[in-house]
Structure 1
Amino acid sequence: MRALINLTLLALLAGAGYVALTQPDAPPLRLPWTQPEATDPARPDPPSPGTGGGPLQNLGDTALKAAVARNPVSIQALKAREYPGSALTVRQTLAAGGNYTRQVVSYQSEGLRINALLTVPRGTPPQGGWPAIVFNHGYIPPAEYRTTERYVAYQDAFARAGFVTLKSDYRGHGSSEGQALGGYDDPGYTVDVLNAAASLRRDPRVNPARLGLWGHSMGGQLSLKAMIVDPRLKAASLWAGVIASYDVLATDWNPPPGEQRTLDAVNRRYLRLLSPNAYLRELNGRPIQLHHGTNDRDVPYAFQKNLADDLRNAGQGVDAYRYDGDNHNLSGNLRTALNRSVQFFKENL
């Protein structure tokens, strides 16, 4: 069978975006579009089955779906894994926030020690435990990442409102174990997010039935994948997310000046099936909230529109907020966006 996805697409997406708090550089996005058994791209491809050498568009969805399921970043492959998490181990106690404690903790993800920043409200928890938010940061160069830096004001807003928050480093970031292989062409960060959620469920202070996700930029896509993989996650608020379908990312994300990227029909269908956007019906009505600025130079506002359209076409509700002229971090509307997210979680967790 034809090697469905050309190896030249590995370098197709040179993204300068998904930057957390105005980091100027990010590694290229290299999604593994090839099938695991893909042959040497220099060899001529045999005709597609049943086509007599005709157009590859005739290749059936069954073959494409089978190829997608073998891809480790696919929703199918992620669902086939287990996410036991672990007890949260305190590594360092930090200065408290206004009405909450702060600690650097660690948890286990595929045998790796992953550090995270945990906030817990002071006082008597509600019956069943505090609601909790898995907090998923955007791209920061892994060697520069520090557990206690970035997103402080964001976590503070949710902690003050009575939510436990856990901001995972992801593997290979700062002093966390493992290799940082990227959030798009490797499943590792998504696995870390799902194990972070499982670890929160083990904490006696947390209500395991009241877990949600907050994600920024790259963390937006990680959160979307996690929502689809784990039906126990109740709601997600995604800010400036890399949340367009993969076929849209392949053609519309930071092409070189004057270059128009195109995909043949097979590549487009494969990327669509690999994308979490193809599985939004599996949300089964669990709410999604979106925030994006129209002057975002790192992740286009059109990506929010793409996911919002996909959600509506899949029969899912969505609250999508547009911030005219604002940047990747919603700096001009930060308090408004945070207030909206806090209220969203109060209503849905």
Structure 2
Amino acid sequence: MIRLLPLLPVLLLPSLSVASAQSAAALARVDAAQMSIPAARQTFQKGGYPGSALTVRQTLAAGSNYTRQVVSYQSDGLRINALLTVPRGTPPRGGWPAIVFNHGYVPPKVYRTTERYVAYQDAFARAGFVTLKSDYRGHGSSQGEALGGYYAPGYTTDVMNALGSLRRDPRVNPARIGMWGHSMGGFLSLRAMAIDPSVKAGVIWAGVVGDYDQLMNSWTRRAPVPASIPSAVLNLRRQAVAKYGTPRDNPTFWNKLSANTYLRDLGGPLQLHIGTNDEDVPVAFHTTLAAQLRPLGKLGGSYVYPGDNHNLSGNLRVALDRSVKFFRERL
């Protein structure tokens, strides 16, 4: 069931956001152990990521052959906003295939539901997929606090509840849902697929898909770390190492936090894309993951675009076409 609320044109105004800052109390509750993949799997198996009915917050101008709405769903008791697209026309038997759309890092204070990734989401929407792009907690008008995706579990929880919400939607075929992620969203997509093996397929662009040893020791960026990331959030890594040691000192602990440890359990293949001139994510993350997936029969394609950037701007149409084709074949 979808509940309709009156249109709220001011919903996206930053003055209504309840999650601009990272409070000391929220940071104090973060423990790297909360990123455990086995623990998240147990939570999932016990029905711990149910999502909710999608509540319409605002109806937007329609796309060429699909509707667009700002909706919200529940995650950890928080209201998380998202951009939903639904194809027009008669759905196929069992419902439309769907894609959970996971965006990369955007400064939470300036994030807007209807900005960024417009062309990306449009390509999948026009191809006949329901898409749901979660804002994550603390982004735009979503409730909660933005504590980053790598050492705090909140964003992963929001993605899992977005998946649960799509499964509940009567327009969606719950057996035909995939994941698309860019940059940090690739990290979240890989985690979600490791937690829930019923996800049929995933596509990751310029993904932060290294294990924790790679994230800590091999993540060389040609661009500076965004100044918009609060120092308290950046310090979560230091705090985790102080408590648990480094991935090389304590591999047992850190391997349980890494989705890369559980690639054999993925329920479907991954297609990977990256540009060689990516200033934010090392190409080595992509090539290492591709090499790990290939012998497992889990690699659905590995595309490296010479000279292209973090957003694949120079090959955008080619990468989108490949991604759409992959989802059509797999979902």
Equivalent position of 1:338 in the other structure: 320
1:272 to 255, 269, 274: 255
Equivalent position of 2:287 in the other structure: 305
CA distance in 2 between partners of 1:341 and 1:255 (Å): 26
Check whether the contact 1:78–1:187 (CA below 8 A) recurs between aligned residues: no
Task: Please state how far the C-alpha of 1:152 moved relative to its aligned partner.
Answer: 0.4
2:147 corresponds to 1:181: yes
Equivalent position of 1:74 in the other structure: 36
CA distance in 2 between partners of 1:133 and 1:264 (Å): 33
Task: Please state how far the C-alpha of 1:317 moved relative to its aligned partner.
Answer: 3.1
SS in 1 for 2:285: helix
Equivalent position of 2:60 in the other structure: 94
CA distance in 2 between partners of 1:322 and 1:246 (Å): 23
Task: Please state how far the C-alpha of 1:246 moved relative to its aligned partner.
Answer: 1.1
Task: Please state how far the C-alpha of 1:268 moved relative to its aligned partner.
Answer: 4.6
Task: Please state how far the C-alpha of 1:95 moved relative to its aligned partner.
Answer: 0.3
Check whether the contact 2:221–2:280 (CA below 8 A) recurs between aligned residues: no
> What is the Cα-based RMSD across aligned positions, in Å?
2.1
- The farther-off stretch of 227-236 and 112-121 is 227-236
SS in 2 for 1:80: helix
SS in 1 for 2:139: coil
2:125 corresponds to 1:159: yes
2:304 corresponds to 1:322: yes
| Post-superposition CA distance 1:147-202 (Å, at most 9, x none) | 01000000100010000000000001000000111000001100100100110111
Residue pairs, 1:272-291, within 5 angstroms? 272-284=255-267, 286-291=268-273
| Post-superposition CA distance 1:231-263 (Å, at most 9, x none) | 22110000000001111111111379xxxxxx6
- The farther-off stretch of 142-151 and 272-281 is 272-281
CA distance in 1 between partners of 2:255 and 2:196 (Å): 21
CA distance in 2 between partners of 1:180 and 1:264 (Å): 25
2:136 corresponds to 1:198: no
Residue pairs, 1:14-93, within 5 angstroms? 71-81=33-43, 82-93=48-59
Query: Which residue identity lines up with residue 42 of structure 2 in the other structure?
Result: A
TM-score (norm 2): 0.80
CA distance in 1 between partners of 2:212 and 2:218 (Å): 10
Task: Please state how far the C-alpha of 1:129 moved relative to its aligned partner.
Answer: 0.6
Task: Please state how far the C-alpha of 1:264 moved relative to its aligned partner.
Answer: 7.6
CA distance in 1 between partners of 2:151 and 2:249 (Å): 19
SS in 1 for 2:294: helix
CA distance in 1 between partners of 2:304 and 2:256 (Å): 28
Question: As a proportion of its length, which structure holds more helix?
Answer: 2
Query: Which residue identity lines up with residue 73 of structure 2 in the other structure?
Result: Y
How many residue pairs align between the two structures? 278
SS in 1 for 2:69: strand
Equivalent position of 2:217 in the other structure: 251
Task: Please state how far the C-alpha of 1:311 moved relative to its aligned partner.
Answer: 1.6
Query: Which residue identity lines up with residue 75 of structure 1 in the other structure?
Result: I
CA distance in 1 between partners of 2:256 and 2:215 (Å): 13
Equivalent position of 1:64 in the other structure: none
2:197 corresponds to 1:231: yes
CA distance in 2 between partners of 1:252 and 1:270 (Å): 19
Equivalent position of 1:5 in the other structure: none
SS in 1 for 2:213: helix
Check whether the contact 1:245–1:306 (CA below 8 A) recurs between aligned residues: no
CA distance in 2 between partners of 1:195 and 1:270 (Å): 25
Check whether the contact 1:169–1:176 (CA below 8 A) recurs between aligned residues: yes
2:184 to 218, 224, 239: 218
- The farther-off stretch of 267-276 and 153-162 is 267-276
Identical aligned pairs, as a percentage? 69
Task: Please state how far the C-alpha of 1:270 moved relative to its aligned partner.
Answer: 3.9
Check whether the contact 2:213–2:248 (CA below 8 A) recurs between aligned residues: no
CA distance in 2 between partners of 1:121 and 1:92 (Å): 17
Equivalent position of 1:132 in the other structure: 98
Query: Which residue identity lines up with residue 221 of structure 1 in the other structure?
Result: F
Query: Which residue identity lines up with residue 347 of structure 1 in the other structure?
Result: E
CA distance in 1 between partners of 2:99 and 2:67 (Å): 15
CA distance in 1 between partners of 2:77 and 2:115 (Å): 25
TM-score (norm 1): 0.76
